[in-house]
Amino acid sequence: MLSAKRLTAAALSAVMAVGAFTGCGSKSGESEKKSDYTVSMADLAGALGAGWNYGNTLEANTGGTPNETVWGNPEASQAMVDAVADAGFKTIRVPVSYLSKISDDGYKVDEDWLNRVEEVVGYCYNKGLNVIINVHGDGYNSVNGGWLLCNGSDQETIKKKYEALWKQIAEKFSTYDEHLIFESMNEEFDGEYHDPVPEYYDNINAYNQIFVDTVRAAGGNNTHRWLMVPGWNTDINYTVGDYGFELPTDEKNTAGEGRVIVSVHCYDPWDYCGEESKKTFLWGERGQQIVEINKANPKNKASWGEEDHLEGQMQKLKAKFVDNGYPVVIGEYGCIDKTHANSGIPVQIAENRAYYDGYLAGIAATYGITPVYWDNGYNGQYGFGLFNRNTQEQTQPEIIKAIVEAVANKDPKVGLDASVSSAEGSGEVQKQDSAHAYIGIQTAVYTFRNAWDDGTYGKESEWFDTLIRWEDTDGDGEDDIIDTGAAFTDAEIKEDGTYTVSVSGYDFSSDCDALNMLFVSTDLPYSSALRVKDIVLGIDGQETKLNDPVISEDANGNLYIEIVNKYNTEVSGSVDYTMAKDSFSISFTLEGVSNVLK
C-alpha cells in the first residue's frame, strides 16, 4: 500500500528534483496554543469533524532524508491550510518522517526540521483547526533509512531511539493545547501481507506503551493530550480481532477520563480504492445504478466491500473500542481517481467516487468515528488529490462536499446524488444555449458518417454532411472518397422533448447486409441529471423501441447513444434489423435538459 498511496502515477511525475526547504521556527499560533481548551470523549468526534491529510509532504523523503517537496508537492503553506478549513474540514493530519533528521549520536532531532513541523502545526492553529502529527515513514521496511521496525533485530536500540524521538516532540509542543493530537506511528508491520506475527505484534504494543509513557512524562498539556495508537498495519481487522493488539495503559493521564484514541485505516475494497492494474471503477449502490442506467459492464463493479461491509467494520470498531471509552479515528481512507479507466463514462466514475468517499465518511460519523481523508496532492489518473496545492483551488468539489456534509449530518448516502460537472473535477462548466444531436453510421464495407467530433471526418470537416463510401474510381489501386448522395437530418436541442436524427436517400442493402456501428453523437454535456429514454430505431419507416442501448459519455464529456457497435463488447444484447433500402432513424426523449443548458 505504500507505493500505491504515496508514489502513485509514476512516483508523482518521476519524483521531481529535490527542492530546498526552510524551517524558520516560527511561533505561529502562540496565543491560541496556550488556551485552556479541552475536549471530552463525548465531544471529541464532533470537535474533530471531517479530516484531511496533508499527505506526501512532511513525510516525503529521498534516500532516507526528509524533504517536503521531493515527491512533487509544494511546501506546506498557510494558504493551503486556509483552503482546507474554508472547505469545511475541521482536522488536518500532518504525516511526518524523521529518518536521517535523527542523529546517530544521542538521537537528537534536527532543530530546523522540528521547527518546520511546528510551523505547519501553527498554520492549523491559526485557523482554529485540530491537527494530528505522527512518526510516519520511519517504520517502513520499504523506506531507505527506516528504523522503527517491529521485525528489527536490535529492539533495545530501536526502543531507546523511539523514546528519545517522542521525548523531543512532546517537549517541543508541551504548551500546545488539545487541538494538537499525537499519533505514535503509521502502518507499522513487517512489510509482508500476512496475518500478524505474535513476536512482532508484541513490539508494536511495546512502542505504543513507550509513546504514551514518554508523552505523559514530558509534562505541560501532554498530561491530558489525546494520543492515537494503531495496531498491526493500522488494519481494522487486525486491531479489532484476536490477533494480539493491546491498548497501552495510561496511568499518568490527568484528564479524569480516557485520552487514548485507536487509529485505523480503511481502503476497502482495495481493488476499487487503490489498485491501479484492475479496471474496478464502480462501487456500491451508485455503481449498480451506472450498470443499470448506463449499461456499464458489471465486471467493472467491486465484488466485495460494499456498504454493508463498511458499516460492519464501523460496528466492530464501535463495539470494541468506542463503547468502552476509546474513540476511533480512521486516519486514512479514500479511493484513487479512475475517471479515465473507461473513457465512455468518466463523469459517472467520478460521481461514484464521490459517493464512496461520502459513504465511508458518513457511516464512520454515524458510529461516532472520525474519518480523515488521504490526500497525496496528486490530481490526475490514480491520484488522491482534492485540491490543487499550487493554487489552493478545489479540484474535486463534489467529493469534498459529500465528505463534509456526510460527517456533519451523519448521512452516509448524502453523496448518492452527487453531480459532477466535468470528468476532470475542475469546477463548473459554462452552460451553452443549445446543443445538437447527430446520427452516425458505419456499414460492414465502411460506408460511413463519423461522430461530430472526429478530427478527420467530423463536424469541422468538409465531409461531415456526406455519407461516404470508398471506391477505386480511376483504377490506380487507391480508394477514392465517394459521396453517396444521401442526406442527414440532425436535431437542435434546447429543452426537454423527443428528438429524431436520421440518414436517408441511399440503398444500404446494395452494399452489404450488416452494420458495424449505428449511434447518436451530440455536443450536449452528459450529466446524471439528464435522463434519456424511449429510444426508437426506424428502418425504412418501420419503428422498433429499443430496450438496451448503451447511454454513456464520450471522450469530450458529451451524451453518446450506441445502438450497434461491433467494436464495443460492453454493448449488451443485439438489435434485430434488415439493412435499410432508404433510411435509418433514431428517436429519443430527453428529460432534465435545463440542468445542462441555459
Least confident range of 8-12, 234-238, 462-466: 8-12
Looking at residue 471, its pLDDT comes to: 81
Q: What integer pLDDT is reported at residue 137 of this predicted model? A: 95
Nine-digit cell at 352?
A: 461514484
Residue with C-alpha cell 459517493?
A: 355
What percent of the chain lies above the pLDDT cut of 70? 91
* pLDDT score for 32: 45
Question: 461 and 392 share a domain?
Answer: no
Distance from the first to the final alpha carbon of the chain: 45
Helix-helix angle 155-172:111-126, to 10 degrees: 50
- For residue 456, what pLDDT band results from cuts at 50, 70 and 90? confident
Residue 336 sits in the same domain as residue 472: no
Q: What is the pTM of this model?
A: 0.73
**Residues 64, 199 share a domain:** yes
* Residue 538 shares a structural domain with residue 403: no
Residue 345, number of CB atoms within 10 A of its CB = 28
Dihedral Cα 181, 182, 187, 190, nearest 10 deg: -160
Question: What confidence score (pLDDT) does residue 574 get?
Answer: 67
> What are the catalytic residues?
187, 332
In a domain? residue 424: no
The answer as to whether 278 is a domain residue is: yes
| Number of domains composing the chain | 2
* Pair (157, 272) in one structural domain: yes
Per residue in 144-175, pLDDT tens? 999 999 999 999 999 999 999 999 999 999 99
Asked whether residue 281 is assigned to any structural domain, the reply reads yes
Q: Is 426 among the domain residues?
A: no
Judgement on whether residues 395 and 440 belong to the same structural domain of the protein: no
* Alpha-carbon distances, residue 476 vs 468, 469, 482, 560 (angstroms): 19, 17, 15, 38
- Going by pLDDT thresholds of 50, 70 and 90, the confidence category of residue 36 is low
Lowest mean pLDDT among 314-318, 453-457, 535-539, 573-577: 573-577
Pair 9, 89 in one domain? yes
C-alpha span between 244 and 231 (Å, rounded): 9
pLDDT of residue 109: 98
Q: Is residue 425 domain-resident?
A: no
Residue 46: give its domain's CATH number. 3.20.20.80
List, for residues 371-429, the tens digit of each pLDDT value.
999 999 999 889 999 999 999 999 999 999 999 999 999 999 999 988 887 655 433 34
Which tens digits make up the pLDDT trace of 227-285? 999 999 999 999 999 999 999 999 999 999 999 999 999 999 999 999 998 889 999 99
Please compute the mean of the pLDDT values over residues 103-109 and round it to a whole number.
96
- The predicted-structure confidence for 500-526, as pLDDT tens digits, reads as follows 999 999 999 998 999 999 999 999 988
DSSP lists the bridge partners of residue 53 as 93
* Residue 420, in any domain of the structure: no
Q: What is the mean pLDDT of residues 552-572?
A: 80
Average pLDDT over residues 565-572: 72
Domain that holds residue 191: 2-409
**Mean pLDDT taken over the chain:** 90
CA–CA gap between residue 585 and residue 71 (Å, rounded): 54
Q: Are 521 and 452 in contact (CB under 8 A)?
A: yes
393 and 516 fall within a common domain: no
State yes or no: cis peptide before 371, omega within 30 of 0. Answer: no
Domain end call among 356, 375, 409: 409
pLDDT of residue 143: 93
Contact in structure between 356 and 367 (CB atoms under 8 Å): no
- Identify whether 306 is part of a domain: yes
CB 281 within 8 A of CB 341: yes
Judge whether 544 lies within some domain: yes
DSSP string, 193-262: -SSPPHHHHHHHHHHHHHHHHHHHHT-GGGGT--EEEEEEEEEHHHHHSSSS--PPP-TT--SSS--EEE
Q: Examine the domain organization and report whether 348 and 478 are in the same domain.
A: no
Residues 192 and 251 both lie in one domain: yes
Task: Give CA separation, 452 vs 131, 334, 470, 502, 567, in Å.
Answer: 51, 37, 20, 14, 19
Residues 370 and 477 grouped into a single domain: no
The answer on 353 and 238 residing in a single domain is yes
